[in-house]
């Protein structure tokens, strides 16, 4: 009997040794916009107003703070919401960073994410480059996540969110 219990414990421990949790994933997208940096930053700097240019969002609302601790709620087209919080904000550098504060995998398939937003001068005085980059974990951090909450789904969602947002911003500013 001891031999059977020992064997079962050994199998369980060896199985757990092969099991692994999620690994951090990354996404990065950049887009050149034919508008001066001041015009692009004027649109991007209002952390709460992302829904004004991002087509994936129904609405966005926040506390108006453009500093560490500022909070916004994003409501997606499916009426699901997440809450994000500013970690860093620099008007002179035209950049800020934020993180997921309240997750909702029905809204977005990550369990945590951080995003850096940066506006830089383009190749001409009338162009700017907007770069979005993120580090995140999938929506289900268990060892066998469903397809809609695995690493691939999280990378695809974040990449598409960035592309849609950058294209929405470009469309709005290049009118």
Domain boundaries, the chain: 22-173
Per-residue pLDDT of the chain (175 residues; tens, 9 = 90+): 555 554 544 444 444 444 567 899 999 999 999 999 999 999 999 999 999 999 999 999 999 999 999 999 999 999 999 999 999 999 999 999 999 999 999 999 999 999 999 999 999 989 999 999 999 999 999 999 999 999 999 999 999 999 999 999 999 999 8
The CATH fold assigned to 22-173 is Alpha-D-Glucose-1,6-Bisphosphate; Chain A, domain 4 (3.30.530)
Q: What is the pLDDT of residue 126?
A: 95
Percentage helix, strand, coil for the chain under 3-state DSSP, each rounded to 5: 35, 35, 30
Query: 101 with 62: CB under 8 angstroms?
Result: no
Q: What is the pLDDT of residue 39?
A: 97
Token output for 80 = 């699901």
**In which residue are the tokens 């995998």 written?**
105
SS3 93: coil
CA 130/CA 54 separation, integer angstroms: 14
CA 41/CA 154 separation, integer angstroms: 28
- Output phi, psi for 104, to 5 deg: -160, 100
Q: What is the pLDDT of residue 175?
A: 86
What is the DSSP secondary structure assignment for residue 34, as one 8-state letter? S
Residue environment code for 93-105, b if the CB has 16+ CB neighbours within 10 A, otherwise e = ebbbbbebeebbb
Token output for 164 = 């849609």
pTM, full prediction: 0.87
89 forms bridges with which residues in the sheet?
96
Query: 25 with 155: CB under 8 angstroms?
Result: yes
CA 83/CA 161 separation, integer angstroms: 16
Q: What is the pLDDT of residue 3?
A: 53
- Output phi, psi for 170, to 5 deg: -60, -45
SS3 165: helix
Q: What is the pLDDT of residue 69?
A: 96
Q: What is the pLDDT of residue 2?
A: 57
């Amino acid at each position: 009997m001891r031999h059977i219990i020992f064997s079962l414990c050994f199998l369980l421990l060896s199985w757990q040794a092969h099991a692994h949790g999620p690994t951090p994933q990354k996404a990065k997208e950049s887009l050149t916009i034919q508008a001066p940096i001041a015009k692009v930053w004027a649109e991007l700097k209002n952390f709460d107003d992302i829904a004004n240019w991002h087509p994936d969002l129904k609405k966005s609302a926040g506390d108006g703070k453009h500093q560490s601790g500022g909070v916004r709620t994003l409501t997606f087209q499916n009426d699901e919401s997440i809450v994000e919080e500013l970690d860093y904000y620099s008007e002179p550098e035209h950049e800020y960073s934020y993180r997921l504060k309240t997750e909702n995998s029905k809204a977005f398939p990550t369990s945590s994410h951080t995003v850096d937003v940066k506006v830089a001068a383009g190749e001409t005085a009338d162009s700017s480059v907007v770069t979005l980059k993120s580090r995140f974990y999938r929506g289900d951090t268990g060892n066998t996540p469903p397809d809609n909450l695995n690493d691939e789904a999280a990378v695809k969602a974040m990449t598409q969110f960035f592309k849609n947002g950058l294209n929405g911003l470009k469309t709005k500013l290049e009118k």
